[in-house]
Amino acid sequence: MPTPVRFYQGNEIVAHAAIAAGCKFYAGYPITPSSEIAAEMSKLLPLNGGSFIQMEDEIAAMGAVIGGSLAGAKSLTASSGPGISLKQEHIGFACIAEVPVVIVNVMRGGPSTGLPTAPSQSDIMQSRWGTHGDHPIIALTPAFPMEIFTETVRAFNLSEQFRTPVLLLLDEVIGHLSTGLALPSADELEIIDRIPPSVPPDEYYPYDVSKGDVPPMANYFEGYNFHVTGLSHDRTGFPSNNPDLVHEDQVRQHRKIDANIHKIEKWEEFQLDDAEIGIFAFGTSGRAAMDAVNRARAEGIKVGLLRPLTIWPFPDRAINEKLGKMKTIIVPEMNLGQSILEVRRVLGPKFDIRGVHKVGGVPIHPREVLAAIREAAK
């Protein structure tokens, strides 16, 4: 049965969802506006057989959750833009070493320390390209309280299923809004765990892809001793400079995501069936856009919203299928133009695509989106 209704902040919902997903380890360093996630995990993990560590800095926190995951514990860290910047080297390590971890970014204004207590959506490109090299990434963008819960659980599931880091992108508004909510019970959730090895320790290779693009993952301290490195490696985990092997392995790491995109992509359609004007928006801006669509519909304007819950891999298929026939696309986002670049990449330079951008630490109001809709409808 669901839990009794009580008030939760968005950040608190993340913590409760992580526990429901089976998270047993958190390492982090407090930073506004994400700190409530760490505070809640410090209370919940000891009660649920897990461990919490406040590390000395963000870099150490990211290293610790990688270690926790290698030891077999589903692991979580949370931060905000400046902290995520510090974590990038280790996020890259988790990518090449294929270590499942979930990283929450409660976005705030930047660059640098920027606007510590104000919302932003300016880390969209950082979440995709923040660490160097060719690597796939999965990033999710919930907007509503129950979505925060279900997408946090999904973040853990995707991370375990594909042996990859997954980012969960909130913003200060989403993270701090309080809502009365009954959380789902464990038996209502699908929980996915990493694929364990089917061979004894002396026959195990940590990057054996002979049976699929996602290699089975053993846990340390269970008799399986193997090498993990940030260097390109062969199936044993030891470094390799073999050009053909390195190329094939990086292609394989992309393929394990690309070939399963249907299991990863997720979006919501709102009033799109007869729409002539389309909106692409996520998170807080997606909520404002939904209100603006209702107001515009009341004026007789045919407009609809495509709201991605998976922002990376970018929803190319949904944009082509759902927005490709609109006369105008509007992209509201709390940055100076990031996801709009991807929408333009998908639809091409001749498409009428207009942005509504704001970076002052104040959310985009529905009336600002409505003004753009009215202008497009002329």
pLDDT confidence bin for 300, thresholds 50/70/90: very high
CA atoms of 207 and 163, how far apart (whole Å):
11
Torsion of CA 147, 321, 192, 163, to 10 degrees: -110
Burial class (CB in 10 A: 0-12, 13-18, 19+), 224: middle
Helix (H, G, I), strand (E, B), or coil: what is residue 306? strand
Residue 117's pLDDT is: 84
pLDDT confidence bin for 154, thresholds 50/70/90: very high
Residue 116's pLDDT is: 85
Q: Is the pLDDT of residue 374 over 90?
A: yes
Q: Is the pLDDT of residue 1 over 80?
A: no
Q: Specify whether the CB–CB gap between 331 and 355 falls below 8 A.
A: yes
**Residues 77-122 pLDDT 10s:** 999 999 999 999 999 999 999 999 999 999 999 999 998 889 999 9
User: How far, CA to CA in Å, does 198 sit from each of 180, 209, 210, 211?
Assistant: 44, 13, 13, 11
pLDDT confidence bin for 187, thresholds 50/70/90: confident
Residue 186's pLDDT is: 82
Q: Taking residues 154-174, report their average pLDDT.
A: 97
What the block records as the tokens of 136 is: 């796939």
Nearest to 235 by CA among 243, 245, 244, 225: 245
Q: What percent of the chain has pLDDT over 90?
A: 97
Q: Is the whole-model pTM more than 0.75? A: yes
**Residues 198-215 pLDDT 10s:** 999 999 999 999 989 999
**Residues 270-281 pLDDT 10s:** 999 999 999 999
Residue 161's pLDDT is: 98
Q: Is the pLDDT of residue 2 over 80?
A: no
Residue 5's pLDDT is: 94
- Any idea what DSSP says for residue 187? G
**Residues 284-295 pLDDT 10s:** 999 999 999 999
**Residues 24-58 pLDDT 10s:** 999 999 999 999 999 999 999 999 999 999 999 99
